Amino acid sequence: MSVLIVTSLGDLVVDLHTDECPLTCKNFLKLCKIKYCSGCLFHTVQKDFIAQTGDPTGTGEGGDSVYKFLYGEQARFFTASVEIHPSLRHSKMGTVAMFYITLQDDLDYLDGKHTVFGNLAEGRDVLTRINEAYTDEKGRPFTNIRIKHTYILDDPFDDPPRLAELIPDASPEGKPKDEPDSNEVRLEDVWVPLDERLGAAELEKVIRTKEAHSSAVVLESIGDIPDADIKPLYNVLFVCKLNPLTDDEDLHTIFSRFGTVLSAKTIRDYGTGDSLCYAFIEPSNSPYFSL
């Protein structure tokens, strides 16, 4: 479960702890869906500590939950503190909590004080740029750093009945009319939304690529693969959705029908030895091997 956050300094992909923090994650996902975060400034950047955003007023004193828009002013705040978990710590740069992102590893003194509901999966270089921003004595960047758009990559929660009424046709521009363009950080002379710049097909490809990498980061973190960026050799076949009982010998027999097989490896859980239901097949370079 993750979200792509397009900022004026680059893209961030955040994986969410939906099992541990369902209330907080649902709030964040639905706010992204109604484009509440689009246009929000990183209004406070404290070097090697945290960057704060998510407040449309740009002051750090505003901000609403999605429940306010659904159920009224009395639901503006919700008790996220009930979802503080000892296992979710501020140990890595890119820890996401209500409503900040950490800019350094090992900020454990924040543990138990704020609800951690996500971690950065991609975009550490973008956080580094944010961390290096020049700020005034209050931590406000001299040059605006802004969330441009949010794209939900995976959402396990059903939409509340009234949410559809709140979803705009497009992301808001997110810049007050009286704010001069010279204060805006831009990657291009004119900002064009990602979906307009690429088109539907290319946008889908970008989102799928980022989602795949986000999943690989999860597999790396739990030890299923040694590196999120690992890739098989160009001539290695990836086979998925296997029967859990299929073993290496079965795969070797099946794929030998198409030519010489150099190796057939079923990937198994390190602890239990159970099949993870995918495998890699390395055929020979013989022209007689074809599928």
CA end-to-end span of the chain = 35
- pLDDT-derived band at 18 (thresholds 50, 70, 90) equals very high
Task: Say what the pLDDT of residue 229 is.
Answer: 72
The stretches of the chain forming alpha helices (DSSP H) are 22-33, 66-71, 124-131, 194-198, 200-221, 248-255
Q: Which residues are 283's β-sheet partners?
A: 261
The secondary structure element, H or E, covering residue 151 is strand 147-152
Grade residue 188 by pLDDT with cuts at 50, 70 and 90. very low
CATH classification of 237-283, choosing from 3.30.70.330, 3.30.160.40, 1.10.3720.10, 3.30.70.580?
A: 3.30.70.330
Beta strand 261-268 with 237-240 is: unpaired
What are the tens digits of pLDDT across the range 214-264?
677 666 666 667 776 777 666 788 888 999 999 999 998 988 888 888 899
The CA-CA-CA angle for residues 132, 107, 125, to 5°, reads: 35
Question: Would you report the helix, strand and coil content of the chain in percent, each value rounded to 5?
Answer: 30, 20, 50
For 99-149, the pLDDT digits (tens) are 899 999 999 889 988 899 999 999 999 999 999 988 888 888 888 899 998
Confidence (pLDDT) at 52: 94
Contact by Cβ (8 Å): 39, 91: no
Instruction: For domain 2-221, give the CATH superfamily.
Output: Cyclophilin-like (2.40.100.10)
Report the chain's mean pLDDT, rounded to a whole number.
Answer: 80
Q: What is the DSSP letter of 135?
A: B
Query: What is the model's pLDDT at position 162?
Result: 83
Residue 146 host element (H or E)? none
Ordered by start, the domain boundaries in the chain are 2-221, 237-283
Other Cβ atoms within 10 Å of 277 Cβ, number: 15
Q: Span 154-170, mean pLDDT? A: 83
Distance CA 192, CA 203 (A): 13
